[in-house]
Chains A and B, each alone.
Chain A
Amino acid sequence: MSRSPHAKRLPRIRQARTTPPWWFALPALLLFAFVVLVPSARGVYYAFTDWDGLDPHFSFVGLDNFSDMLRDADATQAIWHTLLIAVSITVIQNAVGLVLALGVNSAIKSRNMLRVFLFAPAVITPIVTAYLWRNLLGPDGAVNSLLGAIGLNGWEQDWLGDPDLALWAIVGVIVWQFAGYSMVIFLAGLQSVPREVHEAAAIDGAGPVRRFWSVTRPLLAPAFTINLMLSIIGGIKLFDQVYALTGGGPGHATDTLSTLIYKDAFTLGEFGYSIALAVVLTIIVAVASTGQYLMLSRNERATS
Chain B
Amino acid sequence: MNRYGRRTLALELAMIAGALFVAFPVYVLVNLAVRPTADTSSPISPTTSPTLDNFTQAWQQGALGGALANSVLVTVCSVVIVLAVSSLAAYPLARVTAHWARGTYLLVLLGLALPFQLASLPLYQTMRDMGLLGSPWALVLFYSGLQVPFTVFLYVGFLRALPPDFEDAALIDGCTPLQGFRYVVLPMLKPVTATALVLNTVAVWNDFFTPLLYLSGSAQQTLPVAIAGFVGQYVTDWNLIFAALVISVLPVLLLYFLLQRSIINGFAGGLKG
Contact = CB atoms under 8 A, between A and B. Distances in A.
A155 interface: no
Question: A interface, by DSSP: helix, strand, loop or mixed?
Answer: helix
27 contacts: A19-B92, A19-B96, A21-B177, A25-B92, A28-B88, A31-B141, A32-B108, A35-B146, A36-B145, A37-B107, A108-B11, A117-B19, A117-B23, A119-B260, A120-B257, A124-B252, A125-B248, A131-B228, A133-B25, A135-B43, A141-B43, A142-B43, A145-B42, A146-B44, A149-B44, A226-B271, A244-B231
Interface string B82-119: 00111011011101111011001001100101111111
A167 interface: no
A265 B117 CA distance: 11
Contacts of B24: 142, 146
> Chain A, interface size: which category?
35 or more
B245 A128 contact: yes
Interface in B210-238: 213, 223-224, 227-228, 231, 238
B145 to A, nearest CB: 3
A95 interface: no
B248 A128 contact: yes
Given A36-B149, A132-B245, 4 more contacts: A125-B208, A136-B28, A226-B271, A289-B113
Interface of B: 1-4, 8, 11-12, 14-16, 18-19, 22-25, 28-29, 32, 42-44, 81, 84-86, 88-89, 91-93, 95-98, 100-101, 104, 107-108, 111, 113-123, 125-126, 141-142, 144-146, 148-149, 152, 164, 167-168, 171-172, 177, 180-181, 202, 205-206, 208-209, 213, 223-224, 227-228, 231, 238, 241-242, 245, 248-249, 252-253, 256-257, 260, 263-264, 267-268, 270-272
A75 interface: no
